[in-house]
Amino acid sequence: MKKKDEIKKMLAILDREYPQPKTSLNFKNPLELLVATILSAQCTDERVNQVTAELFQNYRRAEDYAQAPLTALEEDVRPTGFFRNKAKSIKGLGRALVEGHQGRAPETLEELVKLPGVGRKTANVVLGAAFGQPAVVVDTHVGRISRRLGLTAHEDPVKVEFDLMDQLPQDKWTNFGFQMIYHGRKICTSRKPKCEICPLSDLCDFARSK
């Protein structure tokens, strides 16, 4: 685990480098973000945004997803890959929201993760980006960089999430996740991280070990 002064420096650098982090997914309400995040599994945010530009015009309410023929929904999300499973999840999501939440996305992690297709990562994206609640998003970028920085030794995303919650100030949880995603795409890539230009290199266990 990192020392508190190192974490403070790390967060200050991230705030300087990525001052207004947010999800790259386009959305106007929590329902749209739920659907977009489900579609983003094994798919780029850019492709998801291309698909949802039309999808969100045709499906505006949870009821629309719940009542849609599964084959039609499959075709609408086909470009995002794994379209059959995603369409099934989204249709189930719509039905669950209609039947249990008056068609609205719930605002707690416990309720969100009970919805079809919604795991902790998706739930935390929605809590942080749509509802403004403190939430640690752990995707592959966040997990990888957190291990390199020495913030966790775990591979399991849930264990990484809890390690980060233990060490980071709560008011930094949401921003940290999105900042790590930016940083992972720009500098701390999986195969060839650009440690020589990384502003976090002096605080990074991985960079110091090279």
The domain limits of the chain are 4-21+136-209, 30-129
Residue 197's pLDDT band, with cuts at 50, 70 and 90, is very high
Neighbours of 183 (CB within 10 A): 23
pLDDT at 201 over 90: yes
Residues contacting 13, CB < 8 A, separation 6+: 199, 200, 203
User: What pLDDT is recorded for position 1?
Assistant: 73
| Residue 121 known to be catalytic | yes
What would the CATH number be for the domain defined by 4-21+136-209? Answer: 1.10.1670.10
Q: State the catalytic residue, choosing from 9, 15, 139, 159.
A: 139
Cα 182 to Cα 17, 193, 197: the distances in Å are 10, 13, 15
Homologous superfamily of 30-129 in CATH?
Hypothetical protein; domain 2 (1.10.340.30)
**Rounded-to-integer distance, Cα 22 and Cα 69, Å:** 33
User: What pLDDT is recorded for position 133?
Assistant: 97
Q: Provide mean pLDDT across the span 134-153.
A: 96
Buried b (16+ CB within 10 A) or exposed e, 87-105: bebbbbbbbbbbeeeebeb
- Look at 2-6, 162-166, 183-187 and tell me which has the smallest mean pLDDT: 2-6
Q: State the catalytic residue, choosing from 2, 86, 91, 121.
A: 121
Residue 173's pLDDT band, with cuts at 50, 70 and 90, is very high
